[in-house]
Chain A
Amino acid sequence: MEMAQELHVLAVDDSHVDRKVIERLLEISCCKVTAVESGTRALQYLGLDGEKSSMGIDGLKVNLILTDYSMPGMTGYELLKKIKESSVLSKIPVVIMSSEKILPRIDRYILF
């Protein structure tokens, strides 16, 4: 009988505190978690930064990307755009977390 595979979530947040909390919450929900501190690191992990990653895309198999919106450097929105522009990764659902209720901003995300 085949065992259901654990979901693999890639969590992106520049805050150490938030990364730790997100990791724990996802672990409790029986997900495998990889937590990175920036959009740039997330793209590296996903093999989208142009450099050959040491693992093939299949090895990484990310089922969901959970990202903070406001981060220094690349915002969560910019990360979302890059992922959706990729033919390989565009199918992965992306959830953006934000404490700000800026409606025009939220509307932008739904276009993806």
Chain B
Amino acid sequence: MEIVAKLQKQFMDFISALYRERFLDDQFLQLQKLQDESNPDFVFEVVSLFFEDSEKLINNLAAALQQQVVDFKQVDSHVHQFKGSSSSIGAQRVKNACMAFKTFCEEKNIEGCVQCLQQVKHEYFLVKNKLETLMRLEKQILAAGGRIPDLS
């Protein structure tokens, strides 16, 4: 049982840091609450969908910004979707980066948009890495016969 307690502490410390550093916000906590024994993979599934969607959106944004004549409406539409999904999952820093991006879209500022895309990508890959680590810790706890600690 000692190994379970150790893993649970690791998990708690790691996720507390993610909240403190604003990688994740309360929305992620809400998602955790929707997971239970009847739906043990819920968070993992939602996170996987977020990764899939995000990577498509990043590719679409890069392509849209490389056009001879940039269609800012199209760019804005992609950013809006990205802002929505990052908000739904609680990826606060990604969401904030998308908000800045939206402003540059409205101003039709191509330089600003290109910089924002870099920023959004940067934040996305950071949180992706953190979430993958978190999911791994969860799996380890469950494999050792333990329960995921309640975060509230």
**Chain B interface residue bracket vs A:** 10 to 19
Contact for B50 among A17, A70, A72, CB less than 8 A? A17
Task: Indicate if B42 sits at the interface (CB-CB under 8 A).
Answer: yes
B 17-60 binary contact with A (CB < 8 Å = 1; else 0): 00000000000000100100001001001100110110000000
Interface residue stretch chosen among B8-16, B85-93, B111-119, B132-140: B85-93
Bound state CA distance, A69 and B30, in angstroms?
22
Q: What are the residues of chain B within 8 A of A99 when measuring CB–CB?
A: 84, 87
Is B88 in contact with A17, judged by CB distance below 8 angstroms? yes
Contact for B34 among A14, A18, A21, A72, CB less than 8 A? A21
Tell whether A72 pairs with B77 under 8 Å between CB atoms, given A15-B84, A18-B85, A99-B87: yes
Bound state CA distance, A24 and B45, in angstroms?
11
Task: Indicate if B80 sits at the interface (CB-CB under 8 A).
Answer: yes
Tell whether A18 pairs with B77 under 8 Å between CB atoms, given A24-B39, A24-B42, A25-B34: no
Interface residues of A (CB under 8 A from B): 14-18, 20-21, 24-25, 28, 70, 72, 99
Ordered nearest first, which 6 A-B pairs have the shortest CB separation? A16-B49, A17-B85, A17-B88, A24-B34, A17-B49, A17-B50
